[in-house]
Amino acid sequence: MADNDFPGWHGTTIIGVRKGGRVVVAGDGQVSLGQTVIKGTARKVRRLSPGGYDVVCGFAGSTADAFTLLERLEAKLEATPGQLQRASVELAKDWRTDKYLQKLEAMLIVTDGTDLLVITGAGDVLEPEHDVTAIGSGGNYALAAARALMDSEMDAEAIARRAMSIASEICVYTNGNLTVESIGG
């Protein structure tokens, strides 16, 4: 897919960091359309609470597509309470096989404080190595920075914030206006 086909991929950075029994998901607030910044304070990290079961989600890609996926994930979590991995696999299966969902262009990082997962439209449910994952245009920068900081004395939130700061200094599609949600520990 050419860069011009889907400019939404170039507009966000989301990171998930698990350390010390706590998981933090942080996302920047920049929304870009092509090379224009449309908004700098978007919330791309959300907390879902289906049936009192807390899950934190961050999304990259098309906002409307991501909200559709979050609604589907919430329904899957209601059907399988307390089983994030199972709900995520069911969502990924639907996303890959349903003709409507196949067109959705987004990625999700989800956590319940225990599991930390990336869900993709290719049918993947990935559990990251090294307790860090990142998605979006600045994802690789944030991931590298966080991996380098994991052995430090910093806690999960401090690592996520510093990694996002580094990504925002490198990626023009990422800014420093963060939404940070934590769960666990």
Q: Burial letters for 115-140: b for 16+ Cβ neighbours within 10 Å, e otherwise?
A: bbbbbbbeeebeebeebbbbbbbbbe
User: Is residue 147 within 8 Å of residue 16, measured between CB atoms?
Assistant: no
The predicted-structure confidence for 92-107, as pLDDT tens digits, reads as follows 998 888 887 778 888 9
pLDDT band at 64 (very low <50, low <70, confident <90, very high): confident
Residue with tokens 């029994």: 21
- Measured CA to CA, the distance from residue 146 to residue 37 in angstroms comes to 26
Global pTM value: 0.91
Q: What structural domains and CATH numbers belong to the chain? A: 3-170 (3.60.20.10)
pLDDT value of position 7 = 44
User: Is residue 45 within 8 Å of residue 179, measured between CB atoms?
Assistant: yes
pLDDT value of position 9 = 43
| pLDDT over 90 at 88, yes or no | yes
pLDDT value of position 33 = 83
- Measured CA to CA, the distance from residue 77 to residue 54 in angstroms comes to 10
- Measured CA to CA, the distance from residue 39 to residue 88 in angstroms comes to 30
Per mean pLDDT, which of 45-54, 69-78, 87-96, 143-152 is the most reliable?
143-152
What tokens does 129 get?
Answer: 């190595």
The one catalytic residue in 12, 13, 133, 174 is 12
Query: How large is the angle between the packed helices 156-170 and 139-149, nearest 10 degrees?
Result: 140
User: Is residue 108 within 8 Å of residue 57, measured between CB atoms?
Assistant: yes
Q: Is 63 tagged catalytic?
A: no
